[in-house]
Amino acid sequence: MKLLRYGEAGRERPAMLDSDGRIRDLSAVMDDINPAALPELGARLARINVENLPLVDDNVRIGPCVGGSGKFVCVGLNYADHAAETNQPIPVEPILFMKATSAICGPNDDVLIPPGSVKTDWEVELGVVIGKTARHVPQADAMAHVAGFCLVNDVSERAYQTERGGQWDKGKGYDSFGPIGPWLVTPEDIDNPHDLSMWLEVDGKRYQNGSTKTMIFSVPYLVSYISQFMSLQPGDIISTGTPPGVGLGQKPPVYLKAGQVISLGIEGLGTQRQVTRSSPFTP
């Protein structure tokens, strides 16, 4: 099942795609696709007749596929070929960092280039949305805590990330640096999350062309591992790492500037399209 949220930013309404790919409003079934709705999501949706749901105009803005997320946990260097690209050793344990939830935006919203930034970069990633609270979860039980999967662009400012001291969070949390969606795809619609093709282009040039096959730590492993250090709550997002082809890895490096178009997708999870523009905020 493909779930989504539509409407103006901050006032999105819940919806789903029907078998013909048309958007159907779910407002009569739930208030939102958010932490309150996720634990009972399957039971609620099992009772509905999709054909009776109101149709929504296809031209509507698509928002983040889940609202009210409390945490946005990211995994660094989780693809063997990306670690090689950045001349980093393959991690023995997952590298974790946090992305600010204020960075979350819709899949086709503009990406802001911070004032003075010259190293804003892209990363296509598989996102995992938690549906049920997870604390010290065994790997064998981890998928029972997953509501679904989504497409993530882990936009990053590399100078902030590696040249400004401290940890990676500085380079990951700027407003608009977390486009998610268009869909939250429930697990029964993804046969194998570890065998999905993924790609990213800037102005029509393909930079990333990979597969979740090269992930070092699997989705169940990551859910289990992260739940040892913090409870994972409904609506939390785990972004599981990126394949090679980021701007930092080009020779010479290539970074984003205002007026470019980023397009990306993951097999079964839809596509995103963002236009980059200069941030209207001043330092």
- Can you read off the two tokens belonging to residue 94? 């997952």
- Can you read off the two tokens belonging to residue 225? 């591992």
Structural domain boundaries, residue 82: 64-278
pLDDT at 87: 80
Burial class (CB in 10 A: 0-12, 13-18, 19+), 10: exposed
Domain assignment present for residue 53? The answer is: no
pLDDT at 82: 84
Q: Are 147 and 133 in contact (CB under 8 A)?
A: no
Number of other CB atoms surrounding residue 141 within 10 Å: 12
* Average pLDDT per block of 10 residues along the chain, 283 residues long: 97 97 96 96 89 95 98 95 83 96 98 96 98 98 98 97 90 98 97 98 98 97 98 98 95 97 98 97 82
Domain assignment present for residue 256? The answer is: yes
Domain assignment present for residue 8? The answer is: no
Three-state DSSP at 143 gives helix
Give Cα separations from 149 to 3, 19, 194 (angstroms).
10, 19, 12
CATH code of the domain containing 240: 3.90.850.10
pLDDT at 44: 87
Domain assignment present for residue 38? The answer is: no
Q: Which residues partner with 128 through β-bridges?
A: 149, 238
Domain assignment present for residue 35? The answer is: no
| DSSP character at residue 156 | E
Domain assignment present for residue 21? The answer is: no
Domain assignment present for residue 16? The answer is: no
pLDDT at 89: 87
Q: Are 151 and 269 in contact (CB under 8 A)?
A: yes
Number of domains the chain is built from = 1
The model's pTM is: 0.97
| Torsion sign, CA atoms 108, 110, 113, 114 | negative
Number of other CB atoms surrounding residue 97 within 10 Å: 18
pLDDT at 114: 97
Domain assignment present for residue 13? The answer is: no
- Nearest-Å Rg of the Cα atoms of the chain is 18
- Tell me which residue of 7, 8, 107, 9 sits closest to 57, measured CA to CA: 7
